[in-house]
Amino acid sequence: MYGLIGKMIAVPGQRDAVIDAILEGIKGMPGCLSYIVAKDPSNADAIWFTEVWDSKASHDASLSLPAVRAAITKARPLIAKFETSIETTPVGGHGLGG
């Protein structure tokens, strides 16, 4: 499995718009086992995302999907910066099968 945990900072006041764009683009991604988007309770502009994929190849291929490309195009001008991005190797957990 392949995992990614990241944090991005939206342009002030645009966090919900970024989240909406992301959530529109993540449906139907082959190989995606989990994709969680969360608001940071201590920063009104911060967004955390946690992804689990069957492989890095599936993750990389998702970046070419039309829905994902559209979400990126819509969200990019509303993102001030990407603050953190960590690759992980998930080994199991609730909802992942193990």
Please give the structure tokens belonging to residue 94. 């609730």
pLDDT for 14 equals: 98
Task: Please list the pLDDT of the chain residue by residue as tens digits (98 residues).
Answer: 999 999 999 999 999 999 999 999 988 899 999 999 999 999 999 999 999 999 999 999 999 999 999 999 999 999 999 999 999 999 988 876 55
The enclosing domain of 79 has a CATH number of 3.30.70.100
Structural domain boundaries, residue 25: 2-88
Is residue 75 within 8 A of residue 18, CB to CB? The reply is: yes
| The total number of structural domains that make up the chain | 1
Residue at 75 is within a domain: yes
pLDDT value of residue 97? 59
Q: What is the pLDDT of residue 4?
A: 97
Look at residue 72 in the predicted model and tell me its pLDDT.
92
Is the separation of the CB atoms in 75 and 24 below 8 Å?
Answer: no
